[in-house]
Amino acid sequence: MTFVQALLEALESLNGNKMRSGLTVLGIVIGVAAVIAMLAVGRGAQNSITGSITSIGTNLLFVFSGGPDSGGGPGPGGGRRLSGNNDRPLTLADAEAIADPFAAPSVQAVAPGLQGNGTLTFAGENTTTTISGVTPAYAEVRNMQVAEGEFINEENMLGHMSVVVLGPSTADKLFGHHDGVVGETIRIEGQPFRVIGVLVSKGGGAFGSEDDAAYVPFTTAQARLIKRSTRDRVDVIFVQAVDGDSVPKAADEIKNILRQRHNTPIGYDDFTVFTQQDFLSTFATITGVLTIFLGGIAGISLLVGGIGIMNIMLVSVTERTREIGLRKALGARKRDILLQFLTESSLLSMLGGFIGIILGWLIAFIVGKVAAATGTAFTPAVGADAVILSTTFSAIIGLFFGIYPASRAANLEPVEALRYE
């Protein structure tokens, strides 16, 4: 028996039991669609996070107080880090030392910051968001652009002025729009602040949405909004390296400066320096594990579909026992019978895989549309590797779960098969 003959007979057999074949294929369809959709969601999440991190530049470094073993970490908004009891906090003097071009030639700009949360109100509308006390260098370091108005300048700093720059999402929540709001007066924690600028939308950031935030002069935040134990203390220092290739060297220069200033013991740092690559690696690991986890769960559906194929093929062998006996009596060889049933099981799984790919892509497309409708910057990505993996796996499933029924059919004795009722 040739493969073409086996294929034609398989199609005829499956066509004779349309309902049963359709239900069997459904199990594979659901499994493949789940794998495609889950992998697309995982890849979309990874692309979204990676894009949001790289959008603020590849030459950005974050300096937090608290060593790697002190139990701290970047907090919401990219700011505070819990320090150990003996850790020395970061200060404005530390930021000035890092900005010294002779001590750190690989550093281009430095922006110390204070981070906190507060309630903003305007005409009965209110929202709670991240409030950052920043310097004029912050916009350059964080690669921010102003859609209208201006960013905080030295005059605002020196005068401790009550001015604020809003993210577009924050402006939308307060005013219902983010155009033409410059000059309006809002209240932050009950204190009046004049809006001097609105930022260009950037979407989600490494620590949440950068569009939902408010920025005030560092000196104003220091005196009135975000008070710390000492006046010169800062929560985070943002550092911009000369270029992307200079980031490792800049990180080493920052560490050497802070070790000398803090007089830390050898082998122990009371600060942590993060680079964009650190964040990318961390998030890539997290999303990679998440994608594998989701794909593994979806793969169980494929396994269940494979068991369904084996079950149906066993039923088919039982129903066609006399047919098998007649074929063998007329000269069919064991391998002919084996090929016939393996072709049927493989055809079922391949057909289910093809339909599952289309359904999985459709599910990913719908998820992307729902995310866009809710304002989430997230687009599921169906990769060729996911399609190939699902197709290959479904074919293997068909072969694997078809081997036992096919072998059982091939090993039937002609005489016993012909006598079967």
First to last CA, the chain: 27
Residue 328 domain flag:
yes
For 366, what's the count of Cα atoms within 13 Å in the CB-facing half-sphere?
Answer: 9
For 155, what's the count of Cα atoms within 13 Å in the CB-facing half-sphere?
Answer: 4
Domain end marker among 269, 299, 330: 269
What is the DSSP code string of 162-196?
-EEEE-HHHHHHHHS-SSS-TT-EEEETTEEEEEE
Q: Are residues 109 and 246 in the same domain?
A: yes
Q: Give residue for tokens 């107080």.
A: 65
Please give the residue range of the domain that contains residue 308: 3-53+281-419
Q: Are residues 228 and 120 in the same domain?
A: yes
Residue 298 domain flag:
yes
Residue 60 domain flag:
no
Domain end marker among 269, 290, 310: 269
Q: Are residues 304 and 376 in the same domain?
A: yes
Q: Are residues 117 and 244 in the same domain?
A: yes
Q: Are residues 301 and 367 in the same domain?
A: yes
Q: Please name which of 76, 32, 18, 13 lies closest in space to residue 350, comparing C-alpha atoms.
A: 32
Domain end marker among 227, 246, 269: 269
Q: Are residues 127 and 255 in the same domain?
A: yes
d(CA 27, CA 147): 52
Q: Are residues 218 and 292 in the same domain?
A: no
If one counts the domains in the chain, the total is 2
**pTM to 2 decimals?**
0.59
Please give the chain's pLDDT, 421 residues, in tens. 565 666 666 666 666 677 777 777 787 788 888 888 887 877 777 777 666 665 555 678 888 887 665 544 444 344 443 444 456 788 889 889 998 888 889 888 899 988 888 889 988 888 888 899 999 998 888 888 888 999 999 999 998 899 999 998 889 888 888 888 888 999 988 889 999 999 988 765 444 567 888 999 999 988 888 877 777 888 889 998 888 778 888 888 888 898 888 887 777 878 888 877 776 677 677 777 777 777 677 677 777 777 777 777 777 776 666 666 676 666 767 777 777 777 777 777 788 888 888 888 888 888 888 877 776 666 777 777 777 777 777 777 777 777 776 677 667 666 565 555 5
Residue 62 domain flag:
no
Residue 61 domain flag:
no
b (16+ CB within 10 A) / e for 352-375: bbbbbbebbbebbeebbeebeeee
SS3 327: helix
Residue 117, strand partner residues: 130
Residue 370 domain flag:
yes
Residue 274 domain flag:
no
Q: Are residues 301 and 350 in the same domain?
A: yes
d(CA 181, CA 195): 7
Q: Are residues 182 and 204 in the same domain?
A: yes
Residue 58 domain flag:
no
